[in-house]
Amino acid sequence: MRKQILVVIMIACVSTGALAQTNPENADKFSVWLPLQLLPTLTLYNDTHTSNFGFEWEVTPLLYSFGINRYVSPWYTFIVEPTARFTGSVELSVAGQIYTSKLGSSYFGSYARIMGFIPLSERGEHLTLNLGVGAHSVAGTTRVFKIAGISTLFGMLHLNLKHADNPTAWIGSLEFRVF
């Protein structure tokens, strides 16, 4: 799964960049999108055996916005403007992760997830409720996590908790997301 996720992220960057060249506004968006995608999400992984700190890099191949106005397309790929997400949306996102339990001892993870964003305050610009499910592959083991959290600061700061049973595992993540 890890390789597939990395391939998706690479294809995403290349294809988004290629599509962005179709007009100057998209090219400008891409020039902002790409460096911001490099900003990692901070993640804390905890299960019965170990606690690990990690970084993750996420892209959104597909998002459907049910909160954006009826005059624009509700479908977004990769470059997802904040308004489309926080006003109410469902998205498919994938991420690559690096975890470490001590310096020099790192391992990879990845996930694919479906998330819903429900606006709670100021059309979601101040606060949204996040709910979803995701398949996480960490240290060679793939498990299904339920996800709940909130987003604030114009949809750019996400605090999510992910939980899996048998055996119990928790992932807490503080995500900085623009697109």
Binding region for other proteins (CB under 8 A) = 24-25, 28-29, 31-32, 35-36, 38-40, 55, 67-72, 81-84, 87, 98, 100, 103, 106, 121-126, 153-154, 156, 178
Shortest CB 71 distance to other proteins, Å: 6
CB of 26 to other proteins, least distance (A): 8
Q: Which is nearer to other proteins, 61 or 67 (CB)?
A: 67
Whole-angstrom Cα Rg for the chain: 16
Closer residue to other proteins (CB): 82 or 133: 82
Nearer to other proteins, 103 or 166 (CB): 103
* Nearest distance, CB of residue 23 and other proteins, angstroms: 10
Q: Which two tokens stand for residue 9?
A: 């992220």
63 vs 78: CA distance, rounded Å: 8
Per-position b or e across 79-108, b if 16+ CB within 10 A of its CB = bbbbbbbbbbbbbbbbbbbbbeeeeeeeeb
* Side-chain-facing half-sphere of 55: CA atoms under 13 Å: 6
* Least distance from other proteins to the Cβ atom of residue 73, Å: 10
**CA atoms 106, 111, 8, 54: torsion sign:** negative
